[in-house]
Structure 1
Amino acid sequence: MATVTEENHGAVDNPATDEARWRDDPHLAKVPQVHPETLVSPDSRAVIVAPHPDDEVLGCAGLLMHLARSGHRILLIAVSDGERSHGSESSFSSGLLSQLRPAETSAALHALGIADISIMRAELPDSRVGEHQRKLQDLLGAYLQRGDTVFASWHRDGHPDHEAVGMASRDAARATGCRLIEIPIWMWHWRTPDHPDIPWQRARKLTLDDDMQARKKAALECYRSQLEPDHSTGNPAILPPEVLAHFHRDFEIYFV
């Protein structure tokens, strides 16, 4: 997840939504549960398309653990290196972040207990993925195989990179005969449960056991660049506790 700043053209300008509002809302409570093999059949490869380093853990750490435990093939396509998360005035330069944030993903995957995973780094520019949406679609088309199950950020997620990834993944999946499942990430922070864009009828709930919840929290702790305040600028953490609360649940939501 990259911060939505003036520099990276955030598309949503609503107040943040507290996790308690989601927890108490009947829409979320009524979402039916889904089995991992309903999301990804035993003979299907899972392809995770992550806009930024950390989105793969925020959105689908539980799914990744389920897939790894059942021996599924997994390909992670890292669209950007998240190099613009802190802005030009920060001591966290784009060059530093382009090395640091992918390393945080590696540590996070280790914390999840996931070793057998292929990673392809597209190295598209953070905060400008929309300018390269066709390039991303073509790249996905080159890597996707018929029968893959593609997981990508929701195309109405409220962050321009996330939405571009969602649309490119949708078009590439259609062209290659793959199934697409979308993952809401920024939605939890910027939308409200009654927002008309949310496709509750498509939502499915994947349960995480106690061990998975603990591992997901440990994996999120690996993203120190996003969790700590930027002392060089005085800016707060990009992933403060009120944002992390959306991802400390005992379930994950997928739009199928």
Structure 2
Amino acid sequence: MTASPPLKLLLIVPHPDDEVYGAAGTLMEYVEAGHTVGLVTLTHGEAGRTLGLADSPEALGRLRDVELKACLDEIGVQVHEHHDFPDKDLQGQPFDLLVQVAHSVMLRWRPETVLTFPPNGSNGHPDHVTTHRAVKAAWDSLPETERPLLWYYAGPTPPEQPELQAGYLPPNVTRDVSRFITRKLTAIACHRTQALSTVDFIRRFASRITTESFHQV
């Protein structure tokens, strides 16, 4: 995939599959309208669940790369940059380097909107939280006239866990993506190793398959 800036929407997330549950319909709608969209994935997800489909972290990372490519082909994402940061250890990496990655793609691809995780990481995952911090720091470092819009994933109800409530931001952008439901479910299903995450997401947040919501900073 080659960059064709400026982008309509750029996602910056840590893991393969972080792009699909909450934003696939929005990406599909933008692509259908003739826009270019992009994704930055910071890790290969090698520390995730295997469901018996891989026998080592390295094999899992390679398999998740294949799954991600199939998902992005289904969505129609034109621009993808994949980094090699270690899964589940982003908080242990040089923070300035993570900020530099986010800063660089914002300058190179000049997105209209950048999407990432909110301050609580949506579910408290340390990689999600660290990615939020790096993207926000990169965005803050840009001159105000050069900043893209900044969106966070935002569910319609606050989390039940007290430790996540302080970092919750309510949605102020809501998009009906119901006409893309078949393709979105197909894209989600590309991430076979994450089938349990898919089941958990649909069980808890079924409405978010057809309605994608974000907090615009």
- 1:124 pairs with one of 64, 76, 85: 85
C-alpha displacement at 1:208, in angstroms? 0.8
- Larger Rg: 1 or 2? 1
C-alpha displacement at 1:143, in angstroms? 1.9
Measured against aligned partners, the alpha-carbon deviations of 1:71-94 in whole angstroms (never above 9, x if no partner) come to: 22222101111000038x995411
Checking the alignment, whether the CA contact within 8 Å between 2:119 and 2:132 is kept in structure 1 is: yes
Distance in 2 between residues matched to 1:214 and 1:193, nearest whole Å: 32
Are positions 1:243 and 2:201 aligned together? yes
**Residues 138 and 207 of structure 1, relative CA distance in 2, 3 Å threshold:** same
- 1:174 pairs with one of 118, 140, 149: 140
Distance in 1 between residues matched to 2:8 and 2:198, nearest whole Å: 33
Distance in 2 between residues matched to 1:79 and 1:153, nearest whole Å: 13
Are positions 1:86 and 2:42 aligned together? no
What is aligned with 2:153? Answer: 183
- 2:73 pairs with one of 110, 113, 131: 110
**2:49 counterpart SS class:** coil
Measured against aligned partners, the alpha-carbon deviations of 1:144-196 in whole angstroms (never above 9, x if no partner) come to: 125542111122121110011111111111223232111148x98x9239945
C-alpha displacement at 1:249, in angstroms? 2.9
Measured against aligned partners, the alpha-carbon deviations of 1:45-92 in whole angstroms (never above 9, x if no partner) come to: 4211121000100121011101111222222101111000038x9954
Measured against aligned partners, the alpha-carbon deviations of 1:213-232 in whole angstroms (never above 9, x if no partner) come to: 111111111111111xxxxx
Aligned length in residues: 197
1:103-252 alignment, distance < 5 Å? 103-112=66-75, 114=76, 117-132=78-93, 133-145=95-107, 146=110, 148-157=112-121, 158-176=124-142, 177-184=147-154, 191-192=159-160, 195-200=165-170, 202-210=171-179, 212-227=180-195, 237=196, 239=197, 241-245=199-203, 246=205, 249-252=209-212
Structural RMSD (CA) = 2.7
Measured against aligned partners, the alpha-carbon deviations of 1:126-157 in whole angstroms (never above 9, x if no partner) come to: 00111223211111212212554211112212
Checking the alignment, whether the CA contact within 8 Å between 1:46 and 1:75 is kept in structure 2 is: yes
1:222 alignment partner AA: C
C-alpha displacement at 1:197, in angstroms? 3.8
**Residues 184 and 103 of structure 1, relative CA distance in 2, 3 Å threshold:** farther
Distance in 2 between residues matched to 1:92 and 1:68, nearest whole Å: 36
| TM-score normalised by the chain length of structure 1 | 0.68
